[in-house]
């Protein structure tokens, strides 16, 4: 067995793992990144595309935003559509913050290029990663690289491999407490070669269910439909998708939705999930490995970046001074913001999605919430501060050191 050493073994080459590796190198800390999928798969994997202003600022500081600044679409508001009316939410006017539309896979491409150019040890197609000795001072990761068994001795392991990854499953039963909520609906997501019908996002509340009009570029639209939980993509041919999107999104006096070839479609279950603490021994969980939020408020990628910002700073402190306090305080620093994002994502899900059949009371509550958000300046400002991430940034840590 080939034996290697590194400071931090990072499992997962999504945006969290790649960003952590980049930041560690800036701090002079060696790492190895292991990804079970191929590079092509990782770069093509379509995910969220809304970056909060604080996320963009952090990527700029890290030297990773050149293409994002050239190609990302800057938004200062979005539109609610309900009751055949349109109401604009001017969140920049209310908060001073903008958001960027920039596909997660594009950020991943930027990060992979940066890591490759820096000569990082970034290995794809590594399917059998096995963290060991996490509760000891000498953890290791075993895997197979290019057909050769390898053991990587390290100081710490960073689990950035998502909800279904091996990192969290390597923790002994009972060592972590998990909290979970499942929702009675799902999203049918569509990527289409069609110009967006509007310059800003459209959140449509309709009697047949929620719909979202988003975009990835001036030529590519990203669209979502509320469907039943467990729905199959096979039940949604392109013709049915476009018909339902027109029904839920089109209103009199607004540009009609443009159609085009469907490039990709998938059904995504909505769930909320949090692990406490976000660490075990020498293992630190970040991003979807530690928490999942419903996609309604687009907080997943932004939460992952927030985790990595805290974790990278803690590693830097440890290797520069020997102080493990910030690492020990990692969960306490991150979890309040995680729960704040969970609360807003849950609230926004209830604001937008059609309640389950027969819940007339819930429909009336939904209408009251929409009227408040679109007509009360105080409610609109509170919503906007949550939407752009400002409220989460103001959430204090639970003691410990960030």
Sheet containing 148-153: order of strands? 2-5, 148-153, 140-145, 130-132
How long is the chain? 402
Task: Provide the H-helix boundaries in 83-208.
Answer: 91-95, 104-117, 166-169
Q: Has 336 been annotated as catalytic?
A: no
Write down the catalytic residue from 206, 213, 291, 299: 299
H/E run at residue 58: helix 53-61
Contact 195, 222 (CB under 8 A): no
Write down the catalytic residue from 102, 183, 185, 203: 203
Query: 36, 367, 71: which is closest to 206 by C-alpha?
Result: 367
Rg (Cα) of the chain, in Å, rounded? 22
Partners of 156 in beta bridges:
8
CB count within 10 Å of CB 63 equals 10
Q: Has 299 been annotated as catalytic?
A: yes
Q: Has 280 been annotated as catalytic?
A: no
- The one-character DSSP state at 389 is T
Close Cβ partners of 183 (under 8 Å, ≥ 6 residues apart): 229, 269, 270, 271, 272, 294, 349, 353
Q: Has 330 been annotated as catalytic?
A: no
| Burial annotation 149-183 (CB, 10 A radius, 16+ → b, else e) | ebebebbbbbbbbbeebbbbebbeeeebeeeeeeb
Write down the catalytic residue from 131, 294, 295, 326: 295
Measured in degrees and rounded to the nearest 5, phi and psi for residue 166 equal: -80, -20
Strands 262-276 and 177-192: antiparallel
Write down the catalytic residue from 75, 100, 265, 353: 75
Measured in degrees and rounded to the nearest 5, phi and psi for residue 336 equal: -60, -40
- What does the alpha-carbon distance between residue 239 and residue 262 come to, in Å, rounded to a whole number? 10
Q: Has 224 been annotated as catalytic?
A: no
Please give the sequence-ordered ranges of beta strands (E in DSSP) within 78-229, or none if there are none: 78-82, 85-89, 99-101, 121-123, 130-132, 140-145, 148-153, 156-159, 177-192, 202-205, 211-217, 220-228
- The one-character DSSP state at 177 is E
Residues belonging to the active site: 75, 203, 295, 299, 387
């Amino acid at each position: 067995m080939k034996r290697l050493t590194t400071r931090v073994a990072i499992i997962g080459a999504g945006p969290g793992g790649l960003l952590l590796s980049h930041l560690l190198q800036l701090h002079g800390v060696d790492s190895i990144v292991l990804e079970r999928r191929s590079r092509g798969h990782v770069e093509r994997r379509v995910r969220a595309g809304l970056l909060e202003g604080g996320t963009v600022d952090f990527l700029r500081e890290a030297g990773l935003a050149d293409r994002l600044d050239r190609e990302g679409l800057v938004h200062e508001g979005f539109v609610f559509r309900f009751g055949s009316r349109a109401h604009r939410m001017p969140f920049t006017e209310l908060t001073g913050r903008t958001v960027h539309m920039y596909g997660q896979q594009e950020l991943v491409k930027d990060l992979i290029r940066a890591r490759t150019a820096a000569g990082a040890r970034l290995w794809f197609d590594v399917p059998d990663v096995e963290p060991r000795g996490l509760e000891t001072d000498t953890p290791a990761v075993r895997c197979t690289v290019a057909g050769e068994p390898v053991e990587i001795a390290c100081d710490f392991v960073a689990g950035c491999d998502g909800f279904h990854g091996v990192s969290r499953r390597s923790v002994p039963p009972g060592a972590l407490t998990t909290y979970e909520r499942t929702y009675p609906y799902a999203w049918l997501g569509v990527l289409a070669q069609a110009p967006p019908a509007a310059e800003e996002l459209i959140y449509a509340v309709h009697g047949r269910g929620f719909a979202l009009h988003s975009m990835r570029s001036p030529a590519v639209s990203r669209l979502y439909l509320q469907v039943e939980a467990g729905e199959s993509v096979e039940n949604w041919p392109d013709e049915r998708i476009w018909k339902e999107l027109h029904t839920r999104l089109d209103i009199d006096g607004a540009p009609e939705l443009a159609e085009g070839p469907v490039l990709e479609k998938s059904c995504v279950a909505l769930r909320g999930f949090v692990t406490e603490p976000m660490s075990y021994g020498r293992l630190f969980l970040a991003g979807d490995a530690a928490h999942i939020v419903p996609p309604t408020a687009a907080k997943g990628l932004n939460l992952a970046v927030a985790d990595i910002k805290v974790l990278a700073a803690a590693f830097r402190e440890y290797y520069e001074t020997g102080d493990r306090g910030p690492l020990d305080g990692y969960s306490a620093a991150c979890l309040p913001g995680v729960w704040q994002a969970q609360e807003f994502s849950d609230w926004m899900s209830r604001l937008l999605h059609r309640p389950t059949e027969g819940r007339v009371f819930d429909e009336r509550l939904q209408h009251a919430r929409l009227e408040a958000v679109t007509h009360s300046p105080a409610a609109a400002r509170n919503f906007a501060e949550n939407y752009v991430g400002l409220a989460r940034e103001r959430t204090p840590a639970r003691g410990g050191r960030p």
